[in-house]
Structure 1
């Protein structure tokens, strides 16, 4: 999602002391209508064979929303607004655009191990929307995220090029629906190749920008497009308290918060998370992955 034109300016707030997380920072639903290229194919249910052995247990199929009219990709922005069941999903975009390889080679960091370490230390489940190019650049980190039950990994395109004409100055796919579909499929391939065994059948448009053409282009892939209802404002921000306050002011039951897992372009995110998490827990919120919110929403239809 990151683009310099998308920066959200918010007032500076007083920084709180950081928690003692040094050790942790050192380490770095309902049945889907279409499983999609990012979902795990459901295995046969466990059963006894004639020899008395048991087959492999079934892999639960991740929940998705039903396709929209005309096969349009369904769009999810938040879960149920039930005050009695206060859940919130923190999501992190692991952005890296296809043409940023030279910048990475020169030393710019598009990952954020300290942030992931903090989430682990605080035991916060989260959903990471990963570009295929990021997975290629950081395969060990992608693999670790994909195999850690605290997290789920979803698709943020391969190239991080815009699927619409004007999206915060991002390069575009020129409205080519074949390129759009191929870009999503290529991301799933790259994420799996990095060692993520079961990427979720969720897709976040670069910049969040989409229209009917792009929704139709990826509709056949069986994914649910995941947006958000709370913008963290961490892109290019340096004031961690300002980011935290923007999140805390916006969260409601069922909220999906968009933040970033990109050290160079979102340097305040890890510090902001250390304020956001205890405050929301104090308010009675429970942190969940996006799949739980989608499952709760789909079950109501």
Structure 2
């Protein structure tokens, strides 16, 4: 995984100042990206498997993923007018007919149930779990509040419950750690939930970005066959993502790439 110091600094500022935008490269995530694409250790205790990218084949598949972030304690900010959603981005993906996986927090689904329901019912999209609270699962994760180990499984299950309550139909058993921060202890805590932890190998740099062209260049420079690209579906924290996507999609299609959901990449990896 390659990301400039400028992009990492912006992402760190995001969590320290806003504590709302879902993922940026963490040391644990970088280590995961160097492991096999899908690994389920057999030693006890059982660990949730980790997926970072699909097969590096000539099929040129790429998965765009979008984190719909909102922490458990941000209701007052939403009530005051801060927008944690991005309906124009979802509309652009629909117009461009781009399949995508949306990693949604349960708190986001509670705040925007109609949007969560529409995303979850559209055949282009699948909804995956990004925790309920968007609190960190490890210490020292970009300034996020930290969950205790005993609350980790409940937080994940609470998010799935929030999706069901909102009427989300298309959910998949995938989980993205807030901040991407995880270790063996957290993977063991989540093993009983049956989820696969989904990381990424391409950082878009859209967190707090103001230059859509720079975000597009970052993605276009790093994409490889089987890549998982991490982006955000949060207007207040990632305001140029929709414009960047409108550049990224035709450029990658011109290179022969096709867009798939994470579930397709995981399925391809399992068949190898």
Aligned length: 240
Structure 1 position 183 matched with structure 2 position 167: no
Which residue matches 1:163? 137
Deviation at 1:198, TM superposition (A): 3.8
- Out of 215, 218, 223, which is 2:187 matched to? 215
Structure 1 position 274 matched with structure 2 position 249: no
Aligned partners of 1:127 and 1:290 also within 8 Å? yes
Which residue matches 1:81? 56
- Out of 261, 266, 271, which is 1:289 matched to? 261
Moved over 2 A (4+): 2-8, 65-70
Matches of 1:250 and 1:89, distance apart in 2: 13
Aligned-residue RMSD, C-alpha = 1.6
Matches of 1:168 and 1:283, distance apart in 2: 35
Distance 1:134 1:219, change over 3 A: same
Deviation at 1:192, TM superposition (A): 1.0
Matches of 1:224 and 1:281, distance apart in 2: 28
Q: Which runs of 5+ in 2 are unaligned?
A: 1-7, 15-37
Which residue matches 1:68? 41
Aligned pairs for 1:22-37 (under 5 A) are none
Q: Secondary structure at the match of 2:249?
A: helix
Deviation at 1:103, TM superposition (A): 0.4
TM-score, scaled relative to structure 1:
0.77
Aligned partners of 1:91 and 1:258 also within 8 Å? yes
Q: Secondary structure at the match of 1:200?
A: strand
Q: Which has the larger radius of gyration?
A: 1
Structure 1 position 131 matched with structure 2 position 105: yes
Structure 1 position 98 matched with structure 2 position 104: no
Structure 1 position 230 matched with structure 2 position 199: no
Q: Which runs of 5+ in 1 are unaligned?
A: 9-64
Deviation at 1:282, TM superposition (A): 0.3
- Deviations 1:189-219, CA, capped at 9 Å, x for gaps: 0011110124110000001100111000001
Normalized per residue, the structure richer in helix is 2
Distance 1:238 1:149, change over 3 A: same
Aligned partners of 1:73 and 1:224 also within 8 Å? yes
